[in-house]
Amino acid sequence: MATEADPGGSRTSVWLVARPAAHARRRSEQPSGLDRERITAATVRLLDAEGLHRFSMRRLASQLGVTAMSLYWYVDTKHDLLELALDSALGQQRLPSGPPPQEGWPGRLRSLACGYRRLLAEHPWVAPLSVAYPNIGPHARAFDAALQRLLDATGLADPGRTGAHLAVSQFLHGCGATARRAPETDFGLALDVLIAGIEAKARARAGDRGAGPRPR
């Protein structure tokens, strides 16, 4: 049975479904003063204030001063709206722009990870929704691209870079369960160990390149 953070396995992500254009619907029935952006922003505020377990379309409609049915002009299901809210929250994090200098990726990776942890602490509902949904919205993809740019600067070859990406992603998603409980120092220590491991792997590869081909 689907729950607030478990939409079940049969739905398609809101990011993969093309909605009919607004002019294709009867404008006389379209509620005034609403759009997807306003509804999504109100959803984020309601989730922050009351949590995922209390969220409902009726409660959201009450906050907006409209009927629950009017929301379905802009989203097909509650889960579509939760997906939109998830990506909207992810968009609040400031991302590094452009490729970092070779010596600067560890510090920028640390800033990225700490910013993500703060976001999870400020929006506790983001972590369970990140697990429940594909998380392929534009802000999620921008975050992943920023992480990839940082890892590209490590000098790791493709297999090592892929492994580092997986390790960092799993570390960050695992922060969701402990973002409010784990001390900042513990998080920082764990992050230092992760970065040190990537640095060691990068140094080993650089050493292999410098040694040249081995004699047969």
pLDDT tens profile 55-88 = 999 999 999 999 999 999 999 999 999 999 999 9
Q: Could you tell me if 117 and 187 are in contact, meaning their C-beta atoms sit under 8 angstroms apart?
A: yes
Q: Are residues 65 and 51 in contact, defined by beta-carbon separation less than 8 angstroms?
A: no
Grouping H, G, I as helix, E, B as strand and the rest as coil, residue 3 is strand
Task: Kindly give the confidence (pLDDT) of every residue in the chain, 216 residues in length, as a single tens digit, with 9 standing for 90 and above.
Answer: 344 566 656 789 999 987 655 444 444 456 668 999 999 999 999 999 999 999 999 999 999 999 999 999 999 999 999 999 999 999 999 998 776 665 589 999 999 999 999 999 999 999 999 999 999 999 999 999 999 999 999 999 999 999 999 999 999 988 776 766 778 888 999 999 999 999 999 999 887 666 555 444
One-character DSSP codes across 67-90: -GGGGGGT-SSHHHHHHHHHHHHH
